[in-house]
């Protein structure tokens, strides 16, 4: 971390002093709003890399809970995003956040009392559409572990109720500080996985697959429910067998009854991302796959290609772990029927399928 920027409005929040103490030695600058950070980042030769080397502590003046921005035409999981921060210290070629924020700056919201007030009120109301929440949409959930106690507080809060599950999604292995917490199986530790080749080519500063699986194994041993996200799956010659092997490797390490779900999603991206990947990851071939514009405006692999991959990997997961819920992130009925043999609508919808999986594995009441 090269510099810590603190918004003047955030300076008195307790989380700031915790982070400052854990980043001792990092130069600090107090700012009145984000403009100066944005200018500094935009002036760098690689603004995206620059945005990962600074941390901006700010107050979230909007809502912390937001529905996942699914689109029509594809089945959405109905996940609720808990918006704790933005961007990431890891550097993945395919990361949509590179094109999503203008500019992308590592940001952490520090008004945690507001967050917990909003979250507690929502949980107390027990809305049917807020049974699965997670912090891993706009950032990696566990990169904040060395800096903040937010995850620990969240784990404890969810552990004290019985109708919603928190999903912490990561490509890291930073689970140690969470293991002894009273999670009551209401926090799912979720690991993004990929093949060794895809990780090497496209994921800078992430943990190797083996380390992620070791962290998952350790988490399961401490009673945490788990999830695995094969997302984004990258098509390349021979990838099918490698993804199948990843699936088998997972279930050699963790018991299937500890796994709430496994998601599969192939690489999809806003068209703006392509030149960014080409510039920042010149060795990566991911933008040059056989992509077509999807019904949501994002580029995605030509449907028969992704269906074929899904079919093989889903079969490998079912063979290794028949009881585990497998789902597709943002796919249509045809893909579901061909790769899994049913449409989510036949089982009450994808959100319902996942709520039931959370009920079964995490014990939430639905």
Partner 1 sequence: MILPLKNIRLSLVDTGDETFRVSDPAGASLLAESIRAVGLLNPVVLQENGKGGYRIVSGFRRIAALRSLGWDEIPSRVATAEADFDGLAFLAVSENAASRPLSIMEESRAVALLGPGRPWEERTKLAEKALRLAANPRHLERLESLSRLPAFIREAISSEAVAFAMALTLGRLPEDDARVLAELFSILKLSLSKQRELLDISTDISKRDEVALREVLAGPAIAAILEESGGDRGLAARRVREHLKRRRFPHLSAAEENFSRNAAELRLPQGAAWEPPPFFEGEQHTLSIRVKSRAELAARKDLVASLLENPALSRILP
Task: Tell me the closest approach of the beta carbon of residue 276 to partner 1, in angstroms.
Answer: 14
Task: Tell me the closest approach of the beta carbon of residue 341 to partner 1, in angstroms.
Answer: 16
Q: Which is nearer to partner 1, 157 or 278 (CB)?
A: 278
Task: Tell me the closest approach of the beta carbon of residue 334 to partner 1, in angstroms.
Answer: 6
Q: Which is nearer to partner 1, 217 or 333 (CB)?
A: 333
Task: Tell me the closest approach of the beta carbon of residue 153 to partner 1, in angstroms.
Answer: 43
Task: Tell me the closest approach of the beta carbon of residue 333 to partner 1, in angstroms.
Answer: 7
Q: What is the DSSP letter of 129?
A: T
Task: Tell me the closest approach of the beta carbon of residue 57 to partner 1, in angstroms.
Answer: 36
Closest CA to 99 of 280, 337, 306: 280
H or E, element range at 166: strand 165-170
CA 355, 356, 358, 364 dihedral sign is: positive
The two tokens of residue 84 are 């704790």
Q: Which is nearer to partner 1, 100 or 236 (CB)?
A: 236
Q: Which is nearer to partner 1, 232 or 294 (CB)?
A: 294
Q: Which is nearer to partner 1, 75 or 300 (CB)?
A: 300
Q: Which is nearer to partner 1, 9 or 305 (CB)?
A: 305
Interface with partner 1 (CB under 8 A): 73, 278, 285, 287-290, 292-295, 300, 302-305, 332-334
The set of residues, in sequence order, having a beta carbon less than 8 Å from that of 333 and lying 6+ positions away, is 75, 343, 345
Place of tokens 């990843």: 246
The two tokens of residue 280 are 């920042």
């Amino acid at each position: 971390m090269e510099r810590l920027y603190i918004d003047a409005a955030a300076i008195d929040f307790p989380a700031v002093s915790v982070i400052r103490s854990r980043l001792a030695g990092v130069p600090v600058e107090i700012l009145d709003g984000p403009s100066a950070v944005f200018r500094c980042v935009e002036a760098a030769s690689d603004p995206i890399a620059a945005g990962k080397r600074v941390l901006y502590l700010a107050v979230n003046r909007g809502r912390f809970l937001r529905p996942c921005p699914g689109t029509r035409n594809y089945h959405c999981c109905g996940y609720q995003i808990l918006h704790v921060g933005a961007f990431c210290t890891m550097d993945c070629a395919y990361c949509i956040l590179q094109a999503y924020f203008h500019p992308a700056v590592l940001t952490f919201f520090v008004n945690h009392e507001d967050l917990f007030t909003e979250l507690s009120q929502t949980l107390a109301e027990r809305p049917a559409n807020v049974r699965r929440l997670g912090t891993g949409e706009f950032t990696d959930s566990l990169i904040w572990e060395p800096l903040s106690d937010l995850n620990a507080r969240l784990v404890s809060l969810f552990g004290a109720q019985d109708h919603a599950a928190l999903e912490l999604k990561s490509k890291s292995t930073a689970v140690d500080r969470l293991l002894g917490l009273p999670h009551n199986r209401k926090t799912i530790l979720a690991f993004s996985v990929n093949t060794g080749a895809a990780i090497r080519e496209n994921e800078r500063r992430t943990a190797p697959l083996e380390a992620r699986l070791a962290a998952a194994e350790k988490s399961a041993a401490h009673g945490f429910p788990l999830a695995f996200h094969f997302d984004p799956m990258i098509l390349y010659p021979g990838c099918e067998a490698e993804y199948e092997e990843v699936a088998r490797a997972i279930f050699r390490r963790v018991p299937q009854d500890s796994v709430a779900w496994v998601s599969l999603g192939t690489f999809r991206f806003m068209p703006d991302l392509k030149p960014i990947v080409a510039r920042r990851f010149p060795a990566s071939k991911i933008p040059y796959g056989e992509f077509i514009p999807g019904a949501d405006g994002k580029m995605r692999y030509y449907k028969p290609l992704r269906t074929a991959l899904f079919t093989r990997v889903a079969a490998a997961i079912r063979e290794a772990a028949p009881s585990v819920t497998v789902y597709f992130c943002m796919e249509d009925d045809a893909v579901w029927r061909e790769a899994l043999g049913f449409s989510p609508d036949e089982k009450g919808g994808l959100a319902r399928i996942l709520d039931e999986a959370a009920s079964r594995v995490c014990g939430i009441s639905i």
